Amino acid sequence: MAVGIFDSGLGGLTVLNAVQARLPEVDFVYLADSAHAPYGVRTPDDIYNLTTAAVQRLFDAGCDLVILACNTASAAALRRMQERWVPSDKRVLGVFVPMIEALTERQWGDNSPPREVAVQHVALFATPATVSSRAFQRELAFRAIGVDVEAQACGGVVDAIEDGDMILAEALVQSHVDALKRKMPDPDAAILGCTHYPLMQEAFQKALGADVKVFSQADLVAESLADYLARRPEMLGKGEAACLTTGDPAQVSSRATQFLRRQMIFTAA
Ligand code: DGL
């Protein structure tokens, strides 16, 4: 009985960690498309083709439900996949909706018309592909009115984190927050819209100031998945727990072990 978790690389391990802690009785098959990461600088067609291939691999591993932990894949590919690719007995869910429900203080499945909410000025930090998809603004518009969103494409941050260069990553976070503040001087809330950014949460909070509420997705996604599985237990699937990568398993295992500070063993996808 396993649920699939997909990410372009290691960043989705922040989500894996949270869902494993929230749902210890559930097995997860994690697939990192390390051979093709980063996705954040790719075209929408490219992201769609890579994401469908990876999700098919998770279906083949026995997963009936796959979570796209990758914001870039959720933003650039999910809607198209749901409209014309996902078989009727499978489900693919993204990471934006749980975050927007938290931001707009909505319960899952509340499909009432968009309404005014507490936050008015929201800063979105994400990869270039996520920002140019405008998927976040589209999903938000279904649920809230009068919210001003300013998006900042955070070039370089994912690469710096993947390379383990946290000093560079911190300097880049500061400069992206400065750039955002030139466009929106006083955001009420900030969305960390990339799997890697929770690792830099302190740097974002410090650069934004203590008054800005920072939303980070791992725990929100875990809560939302627990809620979904309580309603749809048949979507647990048949697979067994595994960590798969399209990259070099030895290298990915060693980076993942550093990343989560516990032993992680990846095998070839
Ligand atoms: N995992 C991606 C995301 O959440 C970031 C890494 C990438 O660019 O592939 O947006």
What is the per-residue DSSP string for 224-262? HHHHHHHH-GGGG-S---EEEESS-HHHHHHHHHHHHTS
Run of H or E residues at 3? strand 2-7
Cα distances from 228 to residues 21, 200, 221, in angstroms, run 16, 29, 10
Q: What is the model's pLDDT at position 92? A: 96
Tokens encoding 63:
């997963």
28 and 19 Cβ atoms separated by less than 8 Å: yes
The protein residue whose alpha carbon is closest to atom 7 in ligand 1 is: 38
Looking at the chain, which residues constitute the CATH 3.40.50.1860 domain(s)?
A: 2-94+218-268, 97-216
* Ligand 1 atom at minimal distance to the Cα of residue 75: 10
- How far, rounded to the nearest angstrom, does the alpha carbon of residue 2 sit from its chain's CA centroid? 19
Q: Say what the pTM is.
A: 0.91
Q: What is the model's pLDDT at position 259? A: 84
Q: What is the model's pLDDT at position 111? A: 80
- What is the whole-number distance in angstroms between the Cα of residue 247 and the centre of ligand 1? 16
197 and 157 Cβ atoms separated by less than 8 Å: yes
Q: Write the pLDDT tens digit of every residue in 167-188.
A: 999 999 999 999 999 999 999 9
- What is the whole-number distance in angstroms between the Cα of residue 74 and the centre of ligand 1? 10
Report, at the CATH architecture level, how domain 97-216 is classified: 3-Layer(aba) Sandwich (3.40)
Q: What is the model's pLDDT at position 227? A: 92
Indicate the fold that domain 2-94+218-268 takes in CATH: Rossmann fold (3.40.50)
Q: What is the model's pLDDT at position 7? A: 96
Q: Can you tell me the distance from the alpha carbon of 217 to that of 211, in angstroms, rounded to the nearest whole number?
A: 19
4 and 28 Cβ atoms separated by less than 8 Å: yes
Q: What is the model's pLDDT at position 145? A: 92
Tokens encoding 187:
């955001």
Is the shortest distance between the CB of 71 and ligand 1 below 6 Å? yes
Q: What is the model's pLDDT at position 238? A: 82
The protein residue whose alpha carbon is closest to atom 2 in ligand 1 is: 70
Q: Write the pLDDT tens digit of every residue in 94-103.
A: 998 888 888 8
Q: What is the model's pLDDT at position 110? A: 76
- What is the whole-number distance in angstroms between the Cα of residue 56 and the centre of ligand 1? 19
- What is the whole-number distance in angstroms between the Cα of residue 113 and the centre of ligand 1? 31
Tokens encoding 257:
């072990």
How many CA within 13 A on the CB side of residue 88?
0
Is the shortest distance between the CB of 37 and ligand 1 below 6 Å? yes
- The per-residue pLDDT of the chain, averaged, comes to 93
Run of H or E residues at 93? strand 91-93
- CA proximity to 166, closest of 157, 175, 177: 157
What residue type is 21 in one-letter code? A
**Is residue 143 classed exposed, middle or buried when 0-12, 13-18 and 19+ CB atoms within 10 A define those classes?**
buried
Is the shortest distance between the CB of 198 and ligand 1 below 6 Å? no
Q: What is the model's pLDDT at position 168? A: 97
Q: What is the model's pLDDT at position 171? A: 98
Could you tell which of 154, 157, 194 is best to mutate to test the pocket of ligand 1, judged by most ligand atoms within 8 Å of the CB?
A: 194
Catalytic residues: 70, 194
Q: What is the model's pLDDT at position 136? A: 93
Residues of the chain where predicted confidence (pLDDT) is lower than 70 = 108
